[in-house]
Structure 1
């Protein structure tokens, strides 16, 4: 994973996303998903072997996209792991060290963090509005972008990507790549772009490459 996007994301990567503007959600039973508590305890104690650590990373990766729809108790099983690693960005770096679902989940969550970071940036909003005046629904984003371009545009895309990651990994990858590709292009095409727009374009190029690599079997 490129270090620059990881350094730019906020710390609240595993927060429960607000759902007032996204409609009703199906309830996920707490007994269907979770983290093996003994495995997690041994990881925190430093006594977990490599194979079991890889399995723990898989469990964490499976849980993360469901955090918005799980009881607090289920989500709180992540806390000792995050504390042991040193924070949520360190959690992403740890997941990135494990191939497959953990690495892909980490890289998509970095994208979600960046979308949240720029969701109310005035210069980014102006650039998106100008781009959508020319092309309201770019390739791969028809039916995904909200009709109006406002402070919810990027956060809504983040929600949709996270939901897809819980439901269908390939669709999550496709929407992630469409989102990063669009934001990179509009930043590159902007006339006299604001520094935040230039930075967004650079970050999206890195994340697009990261997700593409994680989604391609080695």
Structure 2
């Protein structure tokens, strides 16, 4: 499938979806994710852009905020547990490059766990393009200053809750607990800091195939 991706996406779409729902083999997951989200196409189109972005100075405020958050991302993981270690350095470069690429969004704290999660599975440049694709295509509007899109999705979640779990819905409604109070981190971080690790991987297999409708 990976060697003939366009054919399977166009002609065998349902078969590809079935394979993703079954679970992508761990050894193939990094490459599959890059193809599913379109990061591979972006990287092929902009071959030297990532290096150029990392060499630019960047917004001092964004860089300062990024540095403050580096040690908070999966601190028990061997890749990120060491301050100024390779993992934190790579995380800084990915987040900095994104803030330079998209100055309107700049940097949002919720991007850091996404970038760290991707770095656990693939090299730096590939993780960067996956982050770009996820933020721009899947979570577009989530990291804007008003966060309008995540509020809309929160209302959709509440509507689904009313349909499938009416007792829970009524209880939350009586207590005046709005969706934004409990689902923000779920959606902003795409469950990377919420679910058991094996579950996160399976969710992402489908998330990168079907988009936010799966979340």
TM-score band by shorter chain is 0.3 to 0.5
Q: What TM-score do you get using the length of structure 2 for normalisation?
A: 0.32
